[in-house]
Structure 1
C-alpha cells in the first residue's frame, strides 16, 4: 500500500495532467484529423509503455482476469477518447474539461443503478444543481466553441470513463498499475487498428505543425503513459468516488489555461453555468470533503 504522501503526489500530478490535456488534444487536432490524432497517439504510446515495462522488469499477466481488467481499462482510454476527440470540433478545451467534471455524478448514477450503491439526499441535490448548470450552457446559444452535439459526445465519453473505474475495481485483477496501463493501451491500440479502414481517406498528407506535433507528444507521454499509471495506481488504492474528485479540481484550471494559452473566450452565461456545475459537485462531495479535513483518504 503506497504511503499517504505518495498518493497525494500522484493525485496532484493527475490533476495537473488532466487540466492541461484537453488543450493539448485541441492543439494536436489543429493540423490532423481528430481520429488520426487519436490513432497515432496509441500507436506511439504502446511501444513506449512496453519499453517501460521491460526496463522496470514489471510482470505483464495474461491470465483471464488480467485480460478482462485491461479491456475494462480501455474504456477509460480509447472508449472514452473517441468521443472526446470528436467533441473538439464543437467545444473549447475548457468546456471539455468541465464536462469531465461531471464524472463523479456519472459515477454516482452508475453506482446507484448498476451496483446498488446508496446516494444521500445532498448528493441528489448536487446532481440536480449540476444538471441545471449544464442546461444553462446548452441553452447559451450557438457559439463556436459551445455546441450541444459536443456536449452529447462528451456525456458519452464521461460515461465510458466512469464505467471503467467501476469495472476495473470490480474485476480486481491484482495487476500492477503500469501493467494495467500498458494492457489498457494495448487493447486501445487494437481498437485503433480496427478504426483505420474508416478513416484512411483522412490520412495525413503533410507533416503537421510544430505545435500540433508537440501537443501530440504531450498527449502520448503525459496523458497516455504517466496519467494512466497515476490513474490505475489510484484506482487500486482509492474509492471510485474519491478518485472522481480529481475532476472537480481540473475544470476551472483548464478553463483558465485555455483562456490564457488558446484565447478561448466564453460568454457570461456559459461561465455562470460552469460555476453552477462546480457548486453542484461541491454539494455532491460535501461529506467527502469533510472527511478530507481529517486527512482520511
Structure 2
C-alpha cells in the first residue's frame, strides 16, 4: 500500500513539476531558479535527517550512489531547466515519457537484462515516430523549440542512466540518504554554475516564480525525490519509469488550462504515439504470451 501511494504521489508531482519549472525560471532565470530549488531542497532534506537521527553512510558504494543520484539531480535537471525556456511545459513531461524505453535499453546493455524483445523493439519505433511528430511541431515554433526538445531528450537519457546506475551499484541505502548525498554533490555545482554563467541577482522576483521555486524545493525535490528513490528501491527501474505513462497527459492538460499553452492535433498525435509506445513497451509481450498460452491450451484440450 505504501508503494502504491508513493507511486501515485510521484505521478501527481511529476505532472505539476514542468509548469512549476517554467514559471520558476521566468523571473530570476533558469539557473537561479534551479539553484534556489535545490538549495531549499537540501535544507528540507537535512532537517528530515536530523529529525530521524539518520546519518549518511560514506563507504565506497554509498559514495558511488550519491554520484549516480547527482547525475540526475544536477545534470538531468539542469538540462530540463534550460530546455523549458523554449517549449511548452507539457512537452517536457511528454518527451520524458521516453524514459522507460531508454531505461530498458540501458538496462539491457548495463544490467544484462533481457529487455530487447520484439514488443520492446516495436515500441521504440512508435516512440521515435511520436518524437518525430513532436519535432515537426517544434520546428513550426522555431529553431529554439527544437533545441528544447533535444535538451529534454538529453535529460531523459541522463535520468535513465542515473536510475540504472543506482540499481547496478546495489548499495541498499535509504531513499532519504540517496537524495541527501546527491544534493550534497549537486548544490555546490549549481551555485558554481550560476556564479560562472550568470552571477546576477534579479531586480525583482515575481510571486509566481517565488511560489514555484518553494514548491519545487519543498515538494518536488524533497518529497518527490525521496518517494522516487523509495519506489526505485522496491521496483524495477523500467517499472518505475512507467510513471511517465500518466503524468504527460496530466501535464499537457494543466499547461493548456492554466498557462494557455498550445494543444494542436500534431501535439496530440505525437503524445498519443509516445504513450502508445509506453503501453506497448509494458504490455505487448505479455498480451502475446497470454494469447499463445491460451491458443496452446485450446489445442491441447481439442486433441485430448
Per the alignment, residue 230 of structure 1 pairs with 227
What's the secondary structure of 1:251's corresponding residue? Answer: helix
Q: How does 1:5-16 map to 2 (within 5 A)?
A: 5-16=1-12
Counterpart in the other structure of 1:25: 21
The equivalent of 1:214 in structure 2 is 211
Q: Is the 8 A contact 1:181 1:228 kept in 2?
A: yes
Q: Which has the larger radius of gyration?
A: 2
Asked if 1 retains the 8 angstrom alpha-carbon contact of 2:96 and 2:156, the reply is yes
Structure 2 residue 69 is matched with structure 1 residue 43 = no
Distance in 1 separating the partners of 2:185 and 2:242: 27
**Residue 112 to residue 271, structure 1, CA distance change in 2 (3 Å):** same
Runs of 5+ unmatched residues, structure 1: 291-297
- Greater mean alpha carbon deviation, residues 138-147 or residues 18-27: 138-147
User: Quick check: 1:268 aligned with 2:265?
Assistant: yes
Name the stretch that deviates more: 110-119 or 134-143: 110-119
Q: Residue by residue, what CA displacement relative to the aligned partner does 1:27-74 show, whole Å, maximum 9, x if unpaired?
A: 111111101111121222212211110011122112221111111011
* RMSD of equivalent CA atoms: 1.7
Provide the residue aligned with 2:291 in structure 1. none
Q: Does 2:84 match 1:88? A: yes
Please give the secondary structure, in 1, of the residue aligned with 2:130: helix
The question of whether the paired residues in 1 share the 8 Å contact of 2:40 and 2:218 is answered with no
Runs (4+) of structure 1 moved beyond 6 Å? none
What is the alpha-carbon distance in structure 2 between the residues aligned to residue 62 and residue 116 of structure 1? 28
Confirm or deny that 1:179 pairs with 2:177. yes
Tell me the TM-score normalized by structure 2.
0.89
Name the structure 1 match of 2:247. Answer: 250
Q: For the residues of structure 2 that align with 1:215 and 1:193, how far apart are their CA atoms? A: 19
Checking the alignment, whether the CA contact within 8 Å between 1:90 and 1:145 is kept in structure 2 is no
CA distance in 2, matches of 1:193, 1:32: 14
Query: Are residues 1:169 and 2:167 paired?
Result: yes
**1:287 shift after superposition:** 5.4
Structure 2 distance, partners of 1:211, 1:155, is 27
Are 2:39 and 2:217, in contact at CA under 8 Å, matched by a contact in 1?
A: no
Alignment of 1:271-286 (within 5 A): 271-286=268-283
Deviation at 1:146, TM superposition (A): 8.0
In structure 2, C-alpha distance between the alignment counterparts of 1:158 and 1:74, rounded to whole Å: 14
Question: For 2:192, which of 191, 194, 214 is the aligned residue?
Answer: 194
Aligned-pair distance for 1:20? 0.3
Aligned 8 A contact 1:92 1:264 in 2: yes
How far apart are the structure 1 equivalents of 2:24 and 2:99? 24
Confirm whether residue 133 of structure 1 aligns to residue 127 of structure 2.
Answer: no
Residues 126, 274 of structure 2: 8 Å contact kept: yes
Q: 2:59 aligns with which of 59, 63, 86?
A: 63
Question: What are the superposed Cα offsets for residues 120-162 of structure 1, whole Å, 9 maximum, x if unpaired?
Answer: 1011101101111110111233226982111111111000100
Contact 1:92 1:146 in 2 (8 A): no
Q: Give the unaligned 5+ runs of structure 2.
A: 288-304
- How far apart, CA to CA, are the structure 1 residues paired with 2:255 and 2:181? 32
What TM-score, normalized by structure 1, do the two folds share? 0.91
For the structure 1 residues 146 and 205, does the alpha-carbon distance in structure 2 shift closer, same or farther, using more than 3 Å as the test? closer
Q: Contact 1:122–1:283 (CA<8 Å) still a contact in 2?
A: yes
1:274 is displaced (CA, Å) by 1.0
